[in-house]
Amino acid sequence: ILKPFRNERLLFLYMGKTLVVKGSKKLLNAWAFYDWANSVYSLVISSAVFPIFYGALFRVAGIEKVTVFGGEIARAPLISYTTSLAFVFIAIITPLISGIADYLGNKKMFMKFFCYLGGLSCIGLNWFSLDNIYFGLLCYFLALVGFWVSFAINNSYLPDVAFPKQQDAISAKGFSLGYIGSVILLIFNLAMVMQPDFFGITTDETGAAEIKAMKYSFITVGIWWVLFAQYSFYYLPKGYKKVGKRTNIILNGFKELKLVWLQLGNQIILKRYLGAFFVYSMAVQTVMLIAAYFGEEEIAWGTDSERTMGLIISILVIQLVAIFGATVTAKASEKYGNIKTLIVVNALWVGICIYAYFVITPIDFYIAAGCVGLVMGGIQALSRSTYSKFLPETKDTTSFFSFYDVAEKIGIIIGTLLYGIVAQLTGSMRSSIIFLGLFFLIGMFLLLRVKESKKPLL
């Protein structure tokens, strides 16, 4: 039986005969390890294998458009609009989950549910095909929902398990673990794709060996995600039931968001930071979601095999450099402060977007991938820990991180939707990249209005 006890400084978690203390290495590692479990989705599904697989389906069929819900739509806008719709759903459901979790005092139960939903949906992508497009898009949709909602709940644990002085380092460690774990699985998946015969995967009437290997990789993602998440689930606390009577459990999450918004009126620094985060995160997440699709469509790779290998190399470059980038950013924040570091990182993103507009050759794309990796992990980890540091003293971390998550998801909805519209109107994804660069520029100037938190580090 899990029994949480709190005082002003410590959090004790009794788990049978095991005692876990807030800030302890065991609890921090368990929290960070969820990044190891679920980051395989963001790499293999969002960034690497699925974009290659998705493009290959259209090329093999010899088409660029597909009929969906009575209308023809090109492949790039189709996946962009599906992504936007998924984030609309995520933005709506996250506050609902937050309210119910507060009432039950068991947010871990919801974290498990969305973890398992995401993992099973990844396995369902094994049956993605143009003939079965609706089922395939549904699995893509639900996997996206499972990843982001469970990730948001895990984020809300950060101030519960770590003291402010530990949060930058453990947040960066989480992202680093995610990059390492996802690269390990990606290498295995890519071995299947590049050498399917070695794994007993052959071309037959059901499809080409390489396509079948990509589908099998989706199954490995689901298994990896669910399996390794068990370590985090074992040590993380259930959550904390909010004191007081509530009459509307279902809509309470939205009421909590309203209360958080009202509290922001007295938290000027936090409010300004959230405004800046909303703008630049819109661009960060959109770039991460469409980078592989951009490379697959806009770069002059030559042959199909060169395209596949080139994208694989670029994704690996991003992941490996991101491990270094997350660590360096955490060190820079210790020396120069979180806000100054985020301003510099946003400036680097502006430069990357301008450079990406002129990228044509594979070598150009590899250079861009290395630059993206350097700033990608750092801006995510530092944004999460900076928000946690700026929070007022509260036990209601779920509602505050729900607000953070909703702000991020609304930004992604806008970003991916605008990206799809610009790409569809111009017929090129390059114009969309420049458009995203403007958001980094605005975010950088908004961060100049944010002062470092004066709250003492515990």
Higher pLDDT, 221 or 328: 221
- What is the mean predicted confidence (pLDDT) over 253-257? 67
Per-residue pLDDT at 29: 87
Query: Which is more confidently placed, 228 or 162?
Result: 228
Handedness of CA 33, 34, 35, 39 (dihedral sign): positive
In angstroms, rounded to a whole number, what is the distance separating the alpha carbons of residues 72 and 85? Answer: 18
User: Is the confidence at residue 225, as pLDDT, over 90?
Assistant: yes
Greater confidence, 32 or 84? 32
- Give the pLDDT band of residue 18 (cuts 50, 70, 90): very low
What is residue 96's predicted lDDT score, i.e. its pLDDT? 78
Average confidence score pLDDT of the chain: 80
- 3-state SS, the chain, equals CEEEEECCCCEEEEECCEEEECCCHHHHHHHHHHHHHHHHHHHHHHHHHHHHHHHHHHHHHCCCEEEECCEEEEHHHHHHHHHHHHHHHHHHHHHHHHHHHHHHCCHHHHHHHHHHHHHHHHHHHHHCCCCCHHHHHHHHHHHHHHHHHHHHHHHHCHHHHCCHHHHHHHHHHHHHHHHHHHHHHHHHHHHHHHCHHHHCCCCECCECHHHHHHHHHHHHHHHHHHHHHHHHHHHCCCCCCCCCCCCCCCCHHHHHHHHHHHHHCCCHHHHHHHHHHHHHHHHHHHHHHHHHHHHHHHCCCCCHHHHHHHHHHHHHHHHHHHHHHHHHHHHHHHHHCHHHHHHHHHHHHHHHHHHHHCCCCHHHHHHHHHHHHHHHHHHHHHHHHHHHHHCCCCCCHHHHHHHHHHHHHHHHHHHHHHHHHHHHHHCCCHHHHHHHHHHHHHHHHHHCCCCCCCCCCC
The CA-atom distances, in angstroms, between 54 and each of 36, 233, 433 are 25, 33, 21
Report the share of the chain in percent with pLDDT over 70. 86
- Ranges 210-214, 422-426, 430-434: which has the least confidence: 422-426
